Copies of this chain bind each other. A is one copy, B any other.
Amino acid sequence: MKEKILDYLSKEHDYFSGDQISKHLGISRQGLWKHIQELKDSGYEIVAVPHLGYRLLSCPDRLFPFEISRALHTKFIAKKIHYFDYLASTMNLAMQLGMQGEPNGALVLAESQTKGRGRLGRNWFSPKYKGIYLSLILRPRIPPAVSPVLTLLSAVSICEAVKKVAGLDVQIKWPNDILIHNKKIAGILTEMNAEVDKVNFVVIGIGLNVNNDKKSLIAQATSLKEQLGQPTSRIALLQELLRRIESNYLVLEDKGAGPIIEKWRNFSSTLGRRVKVYYQDKHIEGYAADIDKDGSLLIRKDSGFIQKVSSGDVIHCR
């Protein structure tokens, strides 16, 4: 109902009489008043003027589920949203919820994380109301070995959404760093719960620096705000991201990994470059020739020999 009231009040920057709204939405004046009070408590500036009615002045910068759901138009992604002002880690909760049978596409969303996690046990700094910190539960019918393509899919979806909403060109550094001008804007962490031969569920975690101020970012990181010089609507960006994930997921189901990998190649800043890859306790150097359909990087060494690396940290040499 809050969603509908906001839809109504957002139609025009004008006053709407309580009678008019109640009638249209089929609720009592008393019920409407109660919802308006709750919206005001949540940070919506709504004025009520006798004989004129209600007017929406401003919306708070919050990723409220009813805001995300408004005009989202997805089939299964984020049909269920678990929203928190803060969490230790959206990954931890999503993995728990996955085990309790949460449906394909369920979303865990937090305004901040106290122990945001990155790949290989690293931290993800998650200051309040500045970024997008989400974990998405997916139940693809794929063997565990195919799951890396979901990381590629997420990376592609982030690039597409940032391009569309913020107009910025984003690149992917293998395996899953999202960069603008060589600084990290987003990270992806993919975890799965699987039997040996069957994925029970996968959780895609995404951390995206949106309105972080420059001074709160480490040297290797950036935010959309730093790049644009102005804030970006986190709601609009999150919605576009969710839509892109869904459409890419449907392509994956329908046509396999091919089209996703093709898109990934186009966003890649790693392919075609000389790279050094640190993995386990080793490193290799060579030419980043291509990406394999399981997400591995194919490196052509100076000897001409092609080596496949399934994970590691890449340094672009020049």
| A interface residues with partner B (beta carbon < 8 Å) | 92, 95-96, 99, 119-120, 143-145, 147-148, 151, 175, 189-198, 200, 295, 310-311
Using Cβ atoms and an 8 Å threshold, which residues of chain B touch A197? 148, 175, 310-311
Do A95 and B193 have beta carbons less than 8 Å apart? yes
Partner of A191, one of B96, B143, B175, B194: B194
How distant is A100 from chain B, measured CB to nearest CB, in Å?
Answer: 9
Do A194 and B195 have beta carbons less than 8 Å apart? no
Complex CA distance for A189 and B119, rounded to whole angstroms: 27
Do B190 and A192 have beta carbons less than 8 Å apart? no
Do A191 and B190 have beta carbons less than 8 Å apart? no
Complex CA distance for A196 and B142, rounded to whole angstroms: 13
Do A198 and B120 have beta carbons less than 8 Å apart? yes
Closest to A202 in B: B196
Complex CA distance for A196 and B148, rounded to whole angstroms: 6
How distant is A144 from chain B, measured CB to nearest CB, in Å?
Answer: 6
Closest to A147 in B: B196
Instruction: Check A194/B192 contact, CB under 8 A, given A96-B99, A143-B310.
Output: yes
Closest to A152 in B: B196
Closest to A145 in B: B145
Instruction: Check A151/B196 contact, CB under 8 A, given A96-B99, A99-B92, A143-B310.
Output: yes
8 other contacts beyond A193-B193, A197-B311, A198-B311, with CB at 8 A cut-off? A92-B99, A96-B96, A148-B197, A190-B195, A191-B193, A191-B194, A191-B195, A197-B310
Do A196 and B120 have beta carbons less than 8 Å apart? no
Complex CA distance for A295 and B311, rounded to whole angstroms: 22
Complex CA distance for A24 and B101, rounded to whole angstroms: 53
Do A189 and B195 have beta carbons less than 8 Å apart? yes
Do B95 and A196 have beta carbons less than 8 Å apart? no
Complex CA distance for A175 and B190, rounded to whole angstroms: 27
Partner of A196, one of B92, B99, B311: B311
Using Cβ atoms and an 8 Å threshold, which residues of chain B touch A196? 147-148, 151, 175, 190, 192, 295, 311
Closest to A144 in B: B144
Please indicate which of the listed interface residues A95, A190, A193, A197 has the most CB atoms of chain B within 10 Å of its own CB. Answer: A197
Using Cβ atoms and an 8 Å threshold, which residues of chain B touch A95? 99, 193
Partner of A195, one of B119, B143, B145, B295: B119
Using Cβ atoms and an 8 Å threshold, which residues of chain B touch A195? 119-120, 189-191
Using Cβ atoms and an 8 Å threshold, which residues of chain B touch A198? 120, 311
Using Cβ atoms and an 8 Å threshold, which residues of chain B touch A311? 196-198
Closest to A92 in B: B99
Closest to A176 in B: B196
Using Cβ atoms and an 8 Å threshold, which residues of chain B touch A148? 196-197
Please indicate which of the listed interface residues A175, A191, A193, A195 has the most CB atoms of chain B within 10 Å of its own CB. Answer: A195
Using Cβ atoms and an 8 Å threshold, which residues of chain B touch A99? 92, 95-96
How distant is A233 from chain B, measured CB to nearest CB, in Å?
Answer: 31
Using Cβ atoms and an 8 Å threshold, which residues of chain B touch A147? 196
